[in-house]
Chains A and B, each alone.
Chain A
Amino acid sequence: MKPYLRDKAPEKLSEIPDATAYEAGYLVTKNAGWRNIRPVIDKEKCIGCLQCYLHCPDGVIYKDSGKVSVDYDFCKGCSICKKICKPGAIEMEAEK
């Protein structure tokens, strides 16, 4: 399951936590702005081996009905998933 992302950024000082600690699933900042290529998964070719899930350095690949999907809010576009994918189910596409 893709983690639930905080849908509203804190606007008031009182909404900022005292420590760098939020309830799990809440994040302050999306972090994908520097990605210039994105992994796109071909669900037909994906065999659900989860090698990309295991190798992703940012933990942004998640299980999705027997296959995998990518959380684009945090994917940095490093291409490791493409390189590790034996069935060739992942292609990198240029961000527009």
Chain B
Amino acid sequence: MAKKFLSGNEAFAEGIRLARPQVISAYPITPQTIVVERLSEMVEDGSLESEFIHVESEHSALSCAMGASAVGARAFTATSSQGLLYMAECLTYASGGRFPIVMMNANRSTALPWNIYGDQRDSISQLDCGWIQAYAVDAQEALDLALMSYYIAEQKGVSTPFMANLDGFVLTHTYEVVDVPTQGQADAFLPKFETENKLDLAHPRNLGFSAGPAHNTAFKYKEHIGLLNAAKAITEAEDRFAKIFGRRYTGLTESYRTEDADYILITLGSIAGLVKETVDNLREKGEKAGLLRIRYLRPFPNEEIADAVSNAKAIAVLEKDISFGNEGTVYTNVNSALQKAGLSRPTSNYIGGLGGRNISAEEIKSIFTELKKEQSQVKFIGIGGEEE
């Protein structure tokens, strides 16, 4: 283990280096560029033995990773925003084909208005494409997710591609001290990629075929089960990870002071760090505030959410996303989890941080204050000029 001063992109690149992908194919896009730049340097200086393929687009980047996966190679790609949307056609090919590719997505706003800064509308718009979706809170978790992602995605019952999301700039470009494991530790954690879903001269196969109306639903059902199975694989990966690296993660969600909390804020990604601090400040003043951070949006933590908020008086969902014409998608999912658990709780939705707008500690504090009032609203933070 070595301590290094790394950005989120660099930490993720270190994690990928340790996972030894045999093929990396990517196209640069802000704010993802650094992760593939670092990986290309590692391939160049020999610290990572991998085929680095310069492709002409994101559509090709994922197609290329699928080709690699289809001959049994561990493959990596990375993208962001418009790049993710451009490769959208291939996302469902990778998940339907059950290729356990890992992709880092630097969360960034989607045009128009054109904007390079962070929000989560890119990945959340692709929530239904059949990929596992994880959201990192800091650079250490980014590195650890990079390693764990392959373990989870490649499990036999899962065989599903993995999208690890890092908030653009706020996480991809900020530096912190990160524990970087040794290659020996990483190899002890992550077994070699073995799959039957590949072109193999000894066992010729017909890959990526069509299935008509009679059988299509059955294939999609199996895809759904694969994603649900990821929940168990995540627990297994984290247990194994804790034994080898001494760091413990908490599954699909992370609860912070929720046990006796009256008011709980649910969010995801890097903003959770600031919410944690705000919760501490409010607790010092005797306010019973809590945070529930969603670590995985797919598979969705229905039971974890219901358990964590079962004693709360009111719940807010803060997200960097809006499903135009309705509400934030995370909010929709959270309400569904509560309804299924038979929990009737007042909930509110806060849409913030779009196009990289800063969400301040003061604004988070206001959410907790407003939670004491009547609920059920979709509120945009920071549009200005609006009266209460």
Contacts and interface: CB of A to CB of B under 8 A. Distances in A.
A54 interface: no
B215 A10 contact: yes
Most A CB contacts (10 A, CB to CB) among B214, B215, B226 go to B215
Interface in A4-51: 9-10, 13, 16, 18-29, 31
Contacts of A29: 210-212, 214-215
Contacts of B196: 21
B178 to A, nearest CB: 35
Most B CB contacts (10 A, CB to CB) among A19, A24, A26, A27 go to A19
B206 interface: yes
Contacts of B210: 28-29, 31
Given A13-B218, A16-B215, A18-B222, A24 B206 contact: yes
Contacts of B98: 18-21
Given A9-B215, A16-B219, A21 B159 contact: no
Nearest to A22: B206
Nearest to A23: B205
B215 A20 contact: no
Most A CB contacts (10 A, CB to CB) among B197, B208, B218 go to B218
A19 B97 CA distance: 6
A7 to B, nearest CB: 15
Q: How large is the interface on A (under 10, 10 to 19, 20 to 34, 35 or more residues)?
A: 10 to 19
Interface string B95-123: 01110000000000000000000000000
A18 B159 contact: yes
B207 interface: yes
Contacts of A20: 96-98, 207-209, 211, 219
Contacts of A18: 98, 159, 197, 222, 226
Nearest to B196: A21
A22 B97 CA distance: 12
A10 B226 CA distance: 20
B384 interface: no
B204 interface: yes
A7 B210 CA distance: 17
B285 interface: no
A8 to B, nearest CB: 12
Contacts of B209: 20, 22, 27-28
Nearest to A26: B206
Given A16-B219, A19-B98, A25 B206 contact: yes
B221 interface: yes
A27 B215 contact: no
A22 B98 CA distance: 13
Given A20-B208, A20-B219, A28-B209, 7 more contacts: A13-B221, A19-B197, A20-B209, A21-B98, A21-B205, A22-B206, A29-B211
Interface of A: 9-10, 13, 16, 18-29, 31
Interface of B: 96-98, 159, 196-197, 203-212, 214-215, 218-219, 221-222, 226
20 contacts: A10-B218, A16-B215, A16-B218, A18-B197, A20-B97, A20-B98, A20-B211, A20-B219, A21-B206, A21-B208, A22-B205, A22-B206, A24-B204, A24-B206, A27-B209, A28-B210, A28-B211, A28-B215, A29-B210, A29-B211
